Amino acid sequence: MRRSQALGKYGEDVAEQFLKQQGCEILDRNWRCDVGEIDIVARDGQALVICEVKTRSSNQLGSPAEAITVRKLRRLRHLAFRWLIAHEAHVPEVRIDVICIVQPAWGAPQIEHLRAVSA
């Protein structure tokens, strides 16, 4: 596994634990279809949460949140629709969240949870 892949997986592990601590139920992880991949699918109360995780080792080249483009948000909305169809799920609310993680060389990761992100 390349270093960037390992960092990404680590970030998803951290994000999953963070969401569980916030009271979310994890429904799926790294769900794929022909359109792309959803990092984490969770339930937060009545809401289905489609969660994109962005992990960096520093903010030197920009924050993880800066990697979320309008195009990426559109794809996440489409992926949410596809997940709902694939799982025959009916929910009153679908939310797209982004979890930004910066893991410095030393110390604990810095976590920022952006809820209900839209373009």
d(CA 4, CA 9) in angstroms, rounded, equals 9
Strands 47-56 and 93-102: parallel
Segments in the chain forming alpha helices (H): 3-21, 70-86
> What are the chain's domains?
3-114 (3.40.1350.10)
The amino acid at residue 70 is V
d(CA 57, CA 59) in angstroms, rounded, equals 7
Whether 40 contacts 53, CB under 8 Å: yes
Q: Please list the pLDDT of the chain residue by residue as tens digits (119 residues).
A: 687 788 889 999 999 999 999 999 999 999 999 999 999 999 999 999 999 999 998 888 788 888 899 999 999 999 999 999 999 999 999 999 999 999 988 889 999 999 999 86
Taking the model in full, what pTM does it have? Answer: 0.92
Which pLDDT belongs to residue 27?
97
d(CA 108, CA 74) in angstroms, rounded, equals 32
